[in-house]
A and B are shown apart, each in its own frame.
Chain A
Amino acid sequence: AIQLTQSPSSLSASVGGRVTITCRASQGISSALAWYQQKPGKAPKLLISDASSLESGVPSRFSGSGSGTDFTLTINSLQPEDFATYYCQQFNSVPPSFGGGTKVEIK
C-alpha cells in the first residue's frame, strides 16, 4: 500500500499569511493526489484534485502543485475560515490512502 507522509503535523499562522503543507508518497502516483479540508465535527471537504485542479467553489487562494512523489498545498492570504485540518489522499491505486493531516491554527 502507498504511504503518504504529511508535514508539518501542525502549524500556527496569522490571518493574511501564507501556509505551505507538503505531502510525500512512498512511490510515484503521477498526479493522482487530492487535498481535503476538515473542520471539527464535519466530514472532509474536497478542495483540490489531480494535484492542482481546484474544485468548483473553492477560493483561488488555495493552490496545489507537484507530481510523482512530492506535492504541496499552499494557502495564500489566510482567512479565518481556513483554520482547519488538511489531508492529502492518493487515488492512484487501491487501497486509497490518506496523509496524517496538518492542523492549521491561528497564531
Chain B
Amino acid sequence: QVQLQQSGPGLVRPSQTLSLTCAISGDSVSSDSAAWNWIRQSPSRGLEWLGRTYYRSRWYNDYALSVKSRISINPDTSKNQFSLQLNSVTPEDTAVYYCARGASYQMLRFDYWGQGTLVTVSS
C-alpha cells in the first residue's frame, strides 16, 4: 500500500518561498512507472495541478504554465521523498497543497494522495 506523508509550514510570508515535502512509503520516487505530483486546491481556483517529477533513465519535470517561473519540484532518492518549492508567493497562493502519485496512461491518473497541507500566505 502506497502512503504519502506531507510536511511543511502552514504559514508563509508574502514574497517568501513555500516549501513542502512528501515522503513516500510503499513505492519509490525512482519508480519507472509513476510520477510524483503536486496539486493545490482553493475556492477560487479549484483543483489545480502544479507539476511533477519522474525518472525514466534520467529525471524529468513538467510544470503548469501558471507557476512555471516560480516552481521547482525535486526528488530526494536518499530519503525516498520529493519536494515543492514555490517562490515569491502572494496571497493568491493560499491553498491546500497535496502531493499525489501519478500512474497509468501519461502518469497523470492520481491514485494515491497525501493528507493535504493548508498553506496560508499572509504577513
Check A95–B105 contact: CB distance below 8 A.
Answer: no
Query: In the complex, what distance in Å separates the CA atom of A97 from the CA atom of B62?
Result: 14
Q: How far is the CA of A32 from the CA of B116 in the complex (A)?
A: 25
Q: Is the CB of A95 within 8 A of B113?
A: no
Q: Which of under 10, 10 to 19, 20 to 34, or 35 or more describes the interface residues of A? A: 20 to 34
In the complex, are the beta carbons of A91 and B104 less than 8 A apart?
yes
List A residues 51-103 near B (Cβ within 8 Å).
Answer: 55, 87, 89, 91-98, 100-101
B110 x A44 contact (CB < 8 A): yes
User: Residues 99-123 of chain B: 1 if any A CB is under 8 Å from the residue's CB, otherwise 0?
Assistant: 0101011101111011110000000
Dominant secondary structure of chain A at its interface with chain B:
loop
Q: A32-B106, A49-B104, A91-B105 are in contact. Are A98 and B46 (CB under 8 A)?
A: yes
Contact B114 A43 (CB under 8 A): yes
Contacts of A93 in B (CB 8 A): 106, 108
A94 to B64 CA separation, bound complex (whole angstroms): 8
B100 contact set on A, CB distance < 8 A: 43
Bound form: Cα–Cα A94–B115 in Å: 24
A96 touches B49 (CB 8 A): yes
Interface residue A19 (Cβ < 8 Å from any Cβ of B): no
* A55 and B108 alpha carbons, distance in the complex (Å): 15
Q: Within A1-49, which residues are at the interface with B (CB < 8 Å)?
A: 1, 32, 34, 36, 42-46, 49
Once the chains bind, are A91 and B98 in contact (CB under 8 Å)?
no
B55-100 residues with Cβ-Cβ distance < 8 A to A are: 62, 64-65, 98, 100
Q: What residues on B are CB-neighbors of A45 within 8 Å?
A: 113
B11: interface (CB < 8 Å): no
Cβ contact within 8 Å between A91 and B108: yes
Asked whether, in the complex, the Cβ of B49 is within 8 Å of the Cβ of A97, the reply is yes
Beta-carbon contact of B114 and A96 below 8 Å: no
A-contacting residues of B (Cβ < 8 Å)? 46-49, 62, 64-65, 98, 100, 102, 104-106, 108-111, 113-116
